[in-house]
Amino acid sequence: MSIYNEASNHIKKLKPNFKPKAGIILGSGLGNVADQITDATVIPYSELPNFPKCNIQGHSGQLHLGYINKTPVVCLQGRAHWYEGASPVIIKNLIRTLKILGCDTLVLTCACGSLNSDNPPGSLVMVTDHINFQFSNILIGNNDDEFGPRFPSLDNAYDAELRQKFLHLAKELDIKLGEGVYFGTSGPTYETHAEIKAFRMLGADLVGMSVIPEVMIARHCGLKVAAIAAITNMAAGLQSQALSHEEVLHYGKQVGKDIAKLLLNFL
């Protein structure tokens, strides 16, 4: 048995005959979206083989199985980060468990810094593409042929059809939803002023420390991906106060209601 089946087998024992259609990963300060799930079964990551230990405030480390507007979903409260020293196996396992359980769609949420004054703290941005400056690729090593090809394409990595559905819903719900390119760094340090200037010249609108490995794994195994960024701060050098995780959590909580509203209607 593949190590990527161990967690899903445990989940199936706890909630038999449950086949989720969509997987959701919640970023820093956005965990309250899980409160919208009905008929929920909650499993701590600590009970699941090869799942991460979440030590970052705002990532509770729990898996929720249940329904949002009658759509079966699996929701991950917390993710694995390179800066925590997470192994590729653990990062892959989070996404591949969703695939094995039956998901065909992955919705990512994350907290981000903004490089664009049109998207200030407290706003939401739909990710259209990414630039990988995490100096690693999660798929390096032997290819897992059971999940996907050796050389997966990242064309339409952030599914255009899903993106348009979210943008249409946001307009209907009177929620401001921008669009932008995500620039991924490894962390845990925030960026320097010079780095942010360089990232803007390269075409970045957002900067963060997650998302990209998850997108690569999801596309490798055929999941459609949508990603919504909660803007929690202006990037280094673009605001007067020093960056802090407390600010991230504050604005993450502030925009959590809008993200929950979007997800409820999308599903």
CB 225 within 8 A of CB 159: yes
Catalytic annotation on 251? no
Catalytic annotation on 250? no
pTM of structure: 0.92
Catalytic annotation on 146? no
- Domains of the chain are 3-266 (3.40.50.1580)
Catalytic annotation on 67? no
List the catalytic residue out of 170, 245, 247, 251: 245
Catalytic annotation on 210? yes
Task: Split the chain (267 residues) into runs of 10 and give each run's mean pLDDT.
Answer: 87 94 83 83 94 68 92 92 88 96 96 92 95 96 96 97 97 96 94 95 96 98 96 80 61 76 90
Name 107's bridge partners: 24, 226
